[in-house]
């Protein structure tokens, strides 16, 4: 009887069992996963290629740049910063560094202390100076549109009405500070004439032959502004000195756009020499006799409890004796050695600062060099004021004034003082 047996399992040539073949469903899932993986890899490669091409196109554009549409939207912080910059350019903010020295020279020349009221008068002068700059740009807006279109008003960064409003607001602030510093008397006798001269210059006198005289008068009144309610006579010398410098500087500034100064820089150099002599005259006089007995009594009275008008006899014996008539000729003692040194040094710095730029403008009187000479003349007011302050015996305050010259020049690179 024969027994049926099952066939042996298939084996390879080596006798190992053959691998099991996957079913149709498992094979399909494997193929789908492989295809998805390949697709994802291709997408990543395409994204990297597109990113590389975009960066290359931005770094090296092949054609002319496409105009970018400006929607006019600005973040609030950016808009405020841009407006503040435009206002600073409108009022020539850095040039205000040259204003407080006028007030200090007038105050110390009249024997007034550099206290709170004097600082209020200095703040009033700064406000009126800025008002004059804003009013100047409002009055010259049509001329600036042709010659200086980058200025705030013709460029549209500040409207003409806003410039006039800024000038009016700063004028009101200056008058208010003047009244706060000395009451109605100072307001009517010092602050109001200064403000009226500034407005008269900008609105009518600037383009006339009286323009330089009006500007010189404004600077001289600024020095007298520091005297407050005190008599202005003792500060007249400082006022005339600053006014003479301003007169020559204003004449030169009329040629800073067209560059046709001609021999005008030579006149400015002569004025610089005269101003330097006026600032240092009398500081090297020989020591004289002691003050008369009446002056010594006044000094003793001042040391025990002086009023404001006699305290100057102790602080500044030269100017006090000259004002009161207590000494003549050699009766007036000379300044201390420190004050003499500071006066001569600051006057020399003034002369060098002005003359160097004026000589360059004289050799080649183009617009750029003329404008540089005008800017140097504005900055040179600081050492000139320092020399006038040092003449009163306040050598430390004079040195602080002169130390502001580098800072003023540094700020002028950001905002032009002219």
Q: Is residue 2 part of a domain?
A: no
Q: Is residue 52 part of a domain?
A: no
pLDDT band of residue 12 (cuts 50, 70, 90) is very low
Average pLDDT over residues 254-283: 87
What's the Cα-to-Cα distance from 339 to each of 55, 312, 335, rounded to whole Å? 66, 16, 6
Query: Could you tell me the CATH number of the domain that includes residue 126?
Result: 1.10.357.140
Give the side-chain half-sphere CA count within 13 A for 298.
Answer: 21
Q: Is residue 309 part of a domain?
A: no
Quote the pLDDT of residue 193.
Answer: 96
Q: Is residue 182 part of a domain?
A: yes
Quote the pLDDT of residue 301.
Answer: 42
- Residue among 376, 383, 375 at smallest CA distance from 348: 383
Quote the pLDDT of residue 341.
Answer: 92
Q: Is residue 127 part of a domain?
A: yes
Average pLDDT over residues 163-182: 95
Q: Is residue 314 part of a domain?
A: no
Min mean pLDDT across 48-57, 106-115, 262-271, 325-334 is at 325-334
Q: How buried is residue 306: exposed, middle or buried, by Cβ count under 10 Å (0-12/13-18/19+)?
A: middle
pLDDT band of residue 23 (cuts 50, 70, 90) is low
Quote the pLDDT of residue 290.
Answer: 36
291/287 Cα distance (integer angstroms): 11
Q: Is residue 345 part of a domain?
A: yes
Q: Is residue 70 part of a domain?
A: no
- Residue among 371, 270, 276, 391 at smallest CA distance from 322: 391
Q: Is the pLDDT of residue 352 over 90?
A: yes
Instruction: Work out the angle between the directed axes of helices 381-390 and 236-253 (0-180°, nearest 10).
Output: 170
Domain that holds residue 357: 83-284+334-412
Query: In the chain, how many domains are there?
Result: 1
- Does the predicted TM-score (pTM) go above 0.95? no
What's the Cα-to-Cα distance from 183 to each of 179, 228, 369, rounded to whole Å? 4, 10, 45
């Amino acid at each position: 009887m024969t027994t049926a047996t099952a066939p042996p399992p298939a084996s390879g040539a080596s006798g190992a069992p053959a691998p099991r073949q996957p079913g149709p469903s498992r094979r399909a899932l494997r193929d789908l996963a492989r295809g998805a993986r390949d697709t994802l890899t291709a997408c990543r490669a395409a994204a990297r290629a597109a990113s590389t091409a975009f960066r290359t196109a931005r770094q090296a554009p092949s054609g002319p740049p496409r105009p970018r549409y400006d929607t006019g939207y600005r973040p609030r912080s950016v808009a405020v910063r841009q407006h503040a910059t435009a206002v600073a350019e409108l009022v020539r903010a850095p040039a205000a560094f040259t204003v407080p020295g006028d007030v200090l020279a007038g105050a110390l020349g009249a024997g007034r202390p550099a206290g709170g009221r004097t600082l209020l008068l200095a703040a009033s002068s700064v406000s009126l100076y800025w008002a004059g700059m804003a009013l100047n740009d409002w009055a010259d807006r049509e001329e600036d549109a042709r010659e200086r279109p980058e200025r705030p008003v013709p460029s549209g960064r500040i409207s003409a009405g806003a410039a006039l409003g800024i000038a009016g607001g700063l004028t009101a602030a200056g008058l208010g500070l003047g009244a706060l510093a000395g009451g109605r008397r100072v307001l009517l006798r010092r602050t109001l004439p200064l403000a009226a001269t500034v407005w008269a210059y900008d609105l009518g006198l600037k383009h006339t032959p009286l323009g330089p005289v009006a500007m010189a008068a404004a600077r001289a009144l600024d020095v007298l502004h520091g005297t407050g309610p005190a008599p202005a006579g003792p500060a007249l010398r400082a006022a005339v000195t600053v006014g003479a410098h301003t007169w020559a500087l204003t004449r030169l500034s009329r040629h800073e756009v067209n560059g046709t100064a001609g021999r005008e820089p030579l006149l400015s150099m002569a004025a610089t020499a005269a101003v330097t002599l006026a600032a240092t005259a009398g500081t090297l006089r020989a020591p004289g006799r002691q003050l008369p007995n009446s002056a010594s009594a006044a000094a003793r009275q001042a040391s025990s409890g002086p009023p404001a008008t006699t305290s100057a006899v102790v602080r500044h014996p030269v100017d006090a004796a000259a004002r009161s008539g207590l000494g003549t000729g050699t009766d007036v003692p000379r300044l201390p050695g420190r004050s003499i040194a500071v006066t001569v040094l600051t006057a020399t710095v003034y002369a060098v600062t002005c003359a160097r730029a004026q000589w360059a403008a004289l050799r080649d009187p183009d617009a750029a060099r003329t404008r540089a000479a005008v800017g140097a003349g504005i900055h040179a007011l600081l050492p000139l004021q320092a020399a006038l302050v040092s003449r009163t015996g306040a050598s430390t305050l004079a040195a602080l004034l002169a130390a502001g010259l580098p800072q003023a020049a540094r700020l002028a690179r950001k905002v032009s003082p002219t």
